Amino acid sequence: MQRIDSHVSPRYAQIPTFMRLPHDTEPSGYDVVVIGAPYDGGTSYRPGARFGPRAIRNESGLIHGVGIDRGPGTFDLIRCADAGDIDLTPFNMHIAMETAEQHLKAVLADNATFLMLGGDHSLTLAALRAVADQHGPVAVVHLDAHSDTNPAFYGGEFHHGTPFRHAIDEKIVDPSAMVQIGIRGHNPKPDSLDYARGHGVRIVTADEFADNPVARTADLIRERVGKRPVYVSVDIDVLDPAFAPGTGTPAPGGLTSREVLALLRCIGDLKPVGFDVMEVSPLYDHGGITSVLATEIGAELLYQYARAHRPRSEGDNAP
Ligand SMILES: [Mn+2]
């Protein structure tokens, strides 16, 4: 199966898959399987992330050819497919979590890794369980306005503000090799970051990031993660709402598009084993700018996976 050729079919034509990848509902032998997770049963404020995967796919037709600063074309280096969506119940977070975990484990049984398009952030726990089942406890690069290490709220065990707390408790991540970047805004309590910090997670707040160039934060990530298998989770609300208004819990004072895209270029120096881009809520978007950005982040992650798994060469663009 081939990508749709944009020289033959205009980018706004045909049924949209992510970046016009082939649609393969039984993927096998791919480097990265793109998979949608339309679900927002864990959201605490604005709903709508269940519509994220469709919106991202729709806008992703925009991207074609080769990134100007990326050197070779991603899909000349690695094999990718769009496997469609995980069918997740909107009615029960326990069932949804189990469904996502089993589905992602099945993907990893036959393919090297996945890029999950959310969906709310609760599902990152399912992804980490699946990845850790293959690799053991993983390092984590987590871009977000929120640490997502809160306890249960309103009796909901798997809401979107808690996946990394579960992951630390379940020992499926290595907190000493975990970096959270862009944390800011308002938290339920003054000690809301104590849980993460108390377990050795390195938190780079948005204020600290503003004082450090991208390159220094990239160095910090490389130092912390090293060559451990690493999961990369991007909550779109790491970006300032000026760049990404279409999300459930926006937080002013965030990173710019350029900063996030530039920072992600260090991922190719690591050993990435899984990716997600979460929390796009198209209902609150304007002109598709959040979905376009989510697409660009996804494209960058795919390219970085290709960089990580081929010999270094001229033209690599890590910060
Ligand atoms: Mn968040």
Of 253, 47, 244, 237, nearest to 159 by C-alpha is: 47
pLDDT tens-place string over residues 208-253: 999 988 999 999 999 999 999 999 999 999 999 999 999 999 999 9
Q: What pLDDT does residue 219 have?
A: 98
Q: Give the number of other Cβ atoms within 10 Å of residue 86's Cβ.
A: 23
Question: Could you give the CA distance from residue 216 to residue 208 in angstroms, rounded to a whole number?
Answer: 11
Ligand 1 geometric centre to CA of 234 (Å): 9
Compute, in angstroms, the gap from residue 219 CA to the centroid of ligand 1. Answer: 23
Spatial distance between the Cα atoms of 18 and 177, rounded to a whole number of angstroms: 30
Q: Strands of the chain (E only): list them.
A: 32-37, 80-85, 113-118, 138-143, 173-183, 202-205, 229-235, 271-278
SS3 57: helix
3-class DSSP state of 235: strand
The values of phi and psi at residue 141, to 5°, are: -110, 115
Other C-beta atoms closer than 10 Å to the C-beta of 207 total 11
Q: How far is the CA of 249 from the centre of ligand 1 (A)?
A: 6
Distance 274 CA to ligand 1 centre (A): 19
Q: What is the pLDDT of residues 102-121, one digit of tens each?
A: 999 999 999 999 999 999 99
How many CB atoms are located within 10 Å of the residue 256 CB? 12
Binding-site positions read 121, 144, 146, 148, 235, 237
Where does 9-87 show beta strands of DSSP type E?
32-37, 80-85
Identify the structural domains of the chain with CATH numbers, from first to last.
18-308 (3.40.800.10)
> What is the DSSP code (8-state) at residue 140?
E
pLDDT in tens, 37-94: 999 999 999 999 999 999 999 999 998 878 777 778 899 999 999 999 999 999 999 9
Q: How far, in Å, is the centroid of ligand 1 from the Cα of 171?
A: 22
State pLDDT tens for residues 150-169: 999 999 999 999 999 999 99
Check residue 311 and give its pLDDT.
Answer: 54
Neighbour-count burial for 31-53, b at 16+ CB within 10 Å, e otherwise: bbbbbbbbbbbbbbebebbbbbb
In this predicted structure, what is the pLDDT of residue 1?
A: 75
CA of 313 to the centre of ligand 1 (A): 35
Report CA(246)–ligand 1 centroid distance (Å): 12
Mean pLDDT of the chain: 94
Residue type, 164: F
DSSP for 154-203 reads TTBTT-TT-HHHHHHHTT-EEEEEEEEEEE-S--SSTTTTHHHHHTT-EE
Q: What residue type is 124 in one-letter code?
A: T
CA–CA distance, 27 with 6 (Å, rounded to integer): 23
Residue type, 236: I
pLDDT of residue 100: 98
- d(CA 4, ligand 1 centre) in Å: 33
Instruction: Give yes or no for a contact between 231 and 173, defined as CB atoms under 8 angstroms apart.
Output: yes
**Tokens standing for residue 83:** 């496997």
pLDDT value at residue 295? 97
Q: What is the mean pLDDT of residues 287-292?
A: 97
User: Average of pLDDT values for 261-280?
Assistant: 98
Residue 319 pLDDT: 54
Ligand 1 center–CA 200 separation, angstroms: 20
| CA–centroid distance, residue 6 to ligand 1 (Å) | 34
Report CA(13)–ligand 1 centroid distance (Å): 33
**Residue list, annotated binding site for Mn(2+):** 121, 144, 146, 148, 235, 237
Q: Give the Å distances, CA to CA, from 148 to 26, 77, 151, 166.
A: 32, 34, 9, 10
What integer pLDDT is reported at residue 183 of this predicted model? Answer: 97
What's the CA-to-centroid distance between 250 and ligand 1, angstroms?
Answer: 8
